[in-house]
Amino acid sequence: MGKLSVTEILHKPFTSRNLLYVFKGILVGLVTGVVVSIFRLIIDKTMKGLYFIYPYMVAHPKTIILYVIATIILCIVLGFIIRPQLFYVKGSGVPQIEAVMDGQLEMHWWAALWRKFVGGLLAICPGLFLGREGPCIQMGACIGQGFSEEIFHGDKQDRNIMLACGIAAGLSAAFSAPLAGALFLVEEITLGFASATVWLAALAAAVASDLVTLLFFGLTPSLHFIYDYSVPVKDYWQLIILGIILGLFGNLYQRVILSLPKWYGKLTIIPKAWHSIVPLLLVIPIGLYYVKILGGSHDFILDLTSPHFINYLSNHLPAIGFVALLLLIRFVFSMVSYGASTPGGIFMPILVLGATSGALYASIMIHAGLLAKGYFLNIVIYAMAAYFGAIEKAPFTAVVLISEMVGSIKHMMPLLVVTLIAYVINDWLGGRPIYAALKDEMMSSLDNPRKSAELTGLRS
């Protein structure tokens, strides 16, 4: 065999289909970016409104009655909106999308898209402990499927590529984190670099959607922190302890969230589409107690890591009990909110639980004289990545996501150490990627014919 020429080694020019799919991905990303940006904007503005409404109700207790009535009306409207497509729009929507890509489900993209948008707003805006990111991912996937079916008239393979583009674009737009959007697709959905066409188109979609969010929200990262101190190597034993704690806590999270359908299934007196009445009413006293804890919630993390709060936690021993109480409230009510068949995600609630866990750990160590106050912010950031990486079983996505959200790639080594340890601990305890586990739990319910009626919307 003779030596090959350059022309024979390389591909023939202008024959690659990658450029076509990059173009398709960009279109999906641009539309997803607009839809998600509007979704984010409404949630952000509404949350700011809650910061006014709840203090007003505290000062004028009689107005609480009116708010309760309005909440009941909202729940009724929400139930009627999601009931016809309850199986597809409840929860984050990511397990449903995984099932569609695996060929286990068929989804009507438009019916799911508008209900997820409206239903997500009605569930998240009142302050339920739900993230916007899951709905953004599902809405992006719906947009990708819509492009494939209505514009490109593609086959199943084309549809799955467009779904992948929408997934990456949705997460990218939700956090303004394009690399994390593409990595999430690889680690959680396709479980590897399926083909150059898929990840290249998905990356193009993620970049395009992020460009749109920059026009809406500017260049500032969604959780912009400045943390210049670096944890010395001699204190890395603390990172090991933190990673072990977060791995154990992450395994607990998985076991509880997978038990929610069983627990809520006992609430037979209320039709499933209207289970949201439980968290919607319970969130009111929580908001009256501490309004900043409501929602996903970016603002709560920013509040928790403010210089004033850090000084308070570091200088007052009883503050440790307050943070522990906030952690308990966040954990329990995140479960109550997600289990109620409401449209809403778990990304941001997981990050908040990680941040609060890190704040609690740092506070204890500071008061014990084992940690300098200057490392408080470091521990919170590491804990967010580690807790997310353990539960999602997506350590690369976790590290990149936090780096993009914080706006810094400094201190990468400790971030990796804590995340890796938390991941290994949860894996050792039998943990699985949470969305794959939720998908299996969701699909197992279809073995029961009575439950499978949700697919047609005949019962809720």
Q: How confident is the model at residue 68 (pLDDT cuts 50, 70, 90)?
A: very high
Find where tokens 């038990």 sit.
259
Q: What type of residue sits at position 32?
A: T
Q: What integer pLDDT is reported at residue 192 of this predicted model?
A: 67
Rounded Cα gap, residues 204 and 80, in angstroms: 37
Is residue 224 a part of any domain in this protein?
no
How confident is the model over 322-338, as a mean pLDDT?
94
Residues β-bridged to residue 131: 345
In a shared domain, residues 434 and 402 = yes
Is residue 223 a part of any domain in this protein?
no
In a shared domain, residues 213 and 237 = no
Which position has the higher pLDDT, 403 or 446? Answer: 403
Q: What integer pLDDT is reported at residue 8 of this predicted model?
A: 67
Q: How confident is the model at residue 448 (pLDDT cuts 50, 70, 90)?
A: low
Could you tell me the two tokens for 18? 């990658």
In a shared domain, residues 271 and 393 = yes
Give every CB contact of residue 38 below 8 A, 6+ residues apart in sequence.
Answer: none
**Counting Cβ atoms within 10 Å, is residue 232 exposed (0-12), middle (13-18) or buried (19+)?**
exposed
- Encode pLDDT of 1-10 as tens digits: 567 777 767 7
Kindly state the DSSP code that residue 219 receives in the 8-state scheme.
S
Distances (CA, A) of 83 to 56, 118, 195, 345: 34, 13, 37, 18
In a shared domain, residues 31 and 162 = yes
In a shared domain, residues 211 and 291 = no
In a shared domain, residues 189 and 302 = no
How confident is the model over 324-332, as a mean pLDDT?
94
194 neighbors 165 (Cβ within 8 angstroms): no
Handedness of CA 323, 329, 332, 336 (dihedral sign): negative
Residue percentage of the chain with pLDDT more than 90:
60
Task: Select from 217, 241, 273 the last residue of a domain.
Answer: 217
Residue 376 host element (H or E): helix 376-392
Q: What integer pLDDT is reported at residue 460 of this predicted model?
A: 38
| Nearest Cα to Cα of residue 33 among 222, 129, 177 | 177
Is 418's pLDDT higher than 80? yes
Q: How confident is the model at residue 318 (pLDDT cuts 50, 70, 90)?
A: confident
Q: What's 349's domain CATH number?
A: 1.10.3080.10
Q: How confident is the model at residue 459 (pLDDT cuts 50, 70, 90)?
A: very low
| Nearest Cα to Cα of residue 397 among 94, 37, 39 | 94
| Nearest Cα to Cα of residue 160 among 207, 199, 208 | 199
Is residue 457 a part of any domain in this protein?
no
Rounded Cα gap, residues 62 and 58, in angstroms: 9
Is 457's pLDDT higher than 50? no
Of these ranges, 116-125, 363-372, 406-415, the one predicted with the greatest mean pLDDT is 116-125
b/e map 317-342, b = 16+ CB within 10 Å: eebbeebbebbebbbebbbbbbbbbb
Q: What integer pLDDT is reported at residue 27 of this predicted model?
A: 97
Q: What are phi and psi of 345, to 5 degrees?
A: -105, 180
Instruction: Identify the domain containing residue 37 by its residue range.
Output: 18-217
Distances (CA, A) of 270 to 75, 256, 264, 359, 368: 12, 22, 10, 38, 48
SS3 228: coil
In a shared domain, residues 336 and 393 = yes
In a shared domain, residues 291 and 362 = yes
Is 208's pLDDT higher than 80? yes
Quote the mean pLDDT of the chain.
89
The answer to which of 74-78, 124-128, 323-327, 370-374 has the lowest mean pLDDT is 370-374
Is residue 6 a part of any domain in this protein?
no
Task: Select from 217, 247, 264 the last residue of a domain.
Answer: 217
Q: What integer pLDDT is reported at residue 76 of this predicted model?
A: 95
How confident is the model over 81-96, as a mean pLDDT?
92
In a shared domain, residues 259 and 408 = yes
How confident is the model over 361-369, as a mean pLDDT?
92
Tally of domains in the chain: 2
Q: Verify cis geometry, omega within 30 degrees of 0, for the bond prior to 297.
A: yes
- Encode pLDDT of 385-411 as tens digits: 999 999 999 999 999 998 888 877 777
In a shared domain, residues 161 and 247 = no
pTM: 0.92
Is 19's pLDDT higher than 60? yes
